[in-house]
Structure 1
């Protein structure tokens, strides 16, 4: 069991942020203010080796494990024992598939105290999109929808080009966009456009990373009532919240189990979402 001393466990320690895409702009300020850490962004750190949004390099594992791999590499590179990495994913919303969803994870590892915590943010506020265009008018319509030029774009011959050297990233000026696409149209008769989801050219994504960082800080402040260790967070949910009309159990959460990763202490909390009965519209009996 690790000994924990609260804020002093972080104060004045060097915290490595594993990024090459300026994510420290979203992550560093709240951590410095709340934890008193000294921020270090390693030089020559190549996060692209762990996957790119343009698919020219595949991600080696799932979202969480990739963030861990990225962070462990940064800690090995710097010789430090405290760090943070983030990893984002984009795709259709699981309930409303017509809407794109951004899920951001921010992982903190403190090797000195055997601590790992994960902050998370999900948002439908994203410009994530793509299109195949054949005219410059189509290009301008897509650019407007994608919040260009405040948000960068990527242009390539097709969605899966054989020549990775033809993937043009970080386009943030109209002149560069039109020149690049005109060249692709001349050579291939079409161009595939995507939103550039790298944080330094996507301020909307940067906001989501900041939200995930705040979630991480919230979890750090949730301490175990038994040993005082941070990250006393929900490990499981149990359904059964009764319907307000018929009283039968629903799939909504009735209780939540909180677990300490340090001493193993668990606590069961009733009505963790602050509601004591489910709306009949969510009852399988009243609304089959």
Structure 2
């Protein structure tokens, strides 16, 4: 049995309220032959919001899994997909933000949990404190408005609490939101930021599509022993030798593949297709 036969003609639920089905569904339906539906009135905000009203439940993977499990619970189906994104400063490159997208695939019939991932610096994630409409226009132009949505938030002078205006995708709405916020702000300053919900952020939506393709790559990779989908790298081992002095470097020497179902393991040497590291990447030749 090939991996497509496990999913062909089955119904899968996609746990989203932000139109992620636009990029996820076509890829999975075409490759796996399944039919994807979105549960009506499914509220993913309860698992966390980018605008900070609700803190994310657990880690990124845990939040995605909770969404998928909830979709299974309310529909009674056995196959679910959910995604979750995060934005943070790049771990190696200063002053650059990164976007990590994961797409989780749960199959209760075959006891599968497979996760696709995309890590990218292609993001317009940004925030600024502004004092007037001109500064709002400059920020909006920089982040790709109106194709990309905006959020305005501020501390309301009378309510003494944060007020948030989301999903701004028209110039008239931007003007109205900024003027309202400035008139009611406690200190004459307001916050403007990118709306990172998928339906208001085509750049992020593109990264979700890439994570979905990575998920498909993992589903199509099957264990050599039991043929279960999801045969993937579970460990990377450093030590690729320097071409000049032969001392081990921090580059990957080999990787370990392991099946989640039967635990079969396999090593692969030189996974990047090179047997020696450039001396420039050696701590002994280039300290």
TM range (shorter): over 0.9
Distance 1:237 1:130 in 2: 36
> 1:163 Cα deviation (Å)?
2.9
| Pair 1:63 & 2:60 matched | yes
The match for 1:118 among 115, 132, 136 is 115
Residue in 2 that maps onto 1:163: 161
> 1:75 Cα deviation (Å)?
0.7
> What's the secondary structure of 1:157's corresponding residue?
strand
CA contact (8 A) 2:3 2:220 kept: no
Matches within 5 A, 1:224-243: 224-243=223-242
Distance 1:13 1:269 in 2: 34
Residue in 1 that maps onto 2:23: 26
> What's the secondary structure of 1:44's corresponding residue?
coil
Distance 1:71 1:5 in 2: 25
Distance 2:86 2:31 in 1: 27
> What's the secondary structure of 2:19's corresponding residue?
coil
Distance 1:74 1:242 in 2: 48
> 1:244 Cα deviation (Å)?
1.2
Residue in 2 that maps onto 1:10: 7
> What's the secondary structure of 2:123's corresponding residue?
coil
Structure 2: gaps spanning 5 or more residues: none
> 1:281 Cα deviation (Å)?
1.6
Residue in 2 that maps onto 1:269: 268
Matches within 5 A, 1:20-169: 20-157=17-154, 163-164=161-162, 166-169=163-166
> What's the secondary structure of 2:5's corresponding residue?
helix
> What's the secondary structure of 2:22's corresponding residue?
helix
> 1:5 Cα deviation (Å)?
4.9
> 1:7 Cα deviation (Å)?
1.1
Change (3 A) 1:112 1:143: same
Distance 1:217 1:259 in 2: 17
> 1:60 Cα deviation (Å)?
1.4
CA contact (8 A) 2:3 2:219 kept: no
Change (3 A) 1:277 1:162: farther
Distance 2:192 2:39 in 1: 32
> 1:135 Cα deviation (Å)?
1.2
Deviations along 1:111-164, one digit per CA (max 9) or x if unpaired, are 101100000001111110000100111010000111100000000115xx9635
Aligned length: 283
Distance 1:25 1:163 in 2: 35
Deviations along 1:210-242, one digit per CA (max 9) or x if unpaired, are 000000000011111111111110010111100
